Structure 1
Amino acid sequence: MAIVWLIIIGAAAGFLATRIMKLETDIITTVAIGIGGALIGGLILRILLSMMSFAAGFIGAVLGALLLIWLWETYIRR
């Protein structure tokens, strides 16, 4: 079922992309462009999300450390 879904999404994406770029292609080429674009776009999106995930974790760790330092300075180290 995933392959059928990929073909349907690829066909729609390929159709839209070929119309935006004003490229005249046959159906097979349009679907292939869409599927290739979905694979490339999915890979790029996964890489960006993993990088953002790392950055968000790092920022959260820094904010947590700052909170811990503030608590230490305010309540424990009088």
Structure 2
Amino acid sequence: MPIVALIIIGAAAGFLATRLMRIEADIPTTMLIGIAGALIGGMLLRFLVTVMGWLSGFVGAVLGALLVIWIWQTYLRR
């Protein structure tokens, strides 16, 4: 993410976060809070997407195995 976009998004996020948490802060502090939050949130989101990607593959494999067992018990086993 370009630096300018990070500063703009961080400033907006910091403004919104300080208002939601009812914190009075000056503009540089608000921007710093937002930029730090954007970095932490971005890393956390990437981690969750990675973990959920692995987890969704595992869940898909289990569901596929359950389907194979159901087909085997229903149609192939006599």
TM-score by length of 1: 0.81
Give, in whole Å, the separation in 2 of the partners of 1:70 and 1:25: 60
Q: Flag as ranges the 4+ runs of structure 1 deviating above 6 A.
A: none
Where does the alignment leave 5 or more consecutive residues of structure 2 unmatched?
A: none
Task: Give the Cα–Cα distance (whole angstroms) in 2 for the partners of residues 57 and 45 of structure 1.
Answer: 18
- Give the aligned partner of residue 16 of structure 2: 16
SS of alignment partner, residue 67 of structure 1? helix
What is the distance in 2 between the residues matched to 1:4 and 1:43? 19
Root-mean-square deviation over aligned CA pairs: 1.8
- CA deviation digits over 1:46-77, x for unaligned, max 9? 22222222221111001112222333445555
Task: State the distance in 1 between where 2:67 and 2:20 align.
Answer: 50
| Unmatched runs of 5 consecutive residues or more in structure 1 | none
Distance 1:71 1:22 in 2: 58
* TM-score, normalised relative to structure 2: 0.81
What letter corresponds to residue 11 of structure 1 in structure 2? A
How many residue pairs were aligned? 78
Question: For residue 27 of structure 1, what is the aligned residue in structure 2?
Answer: 27
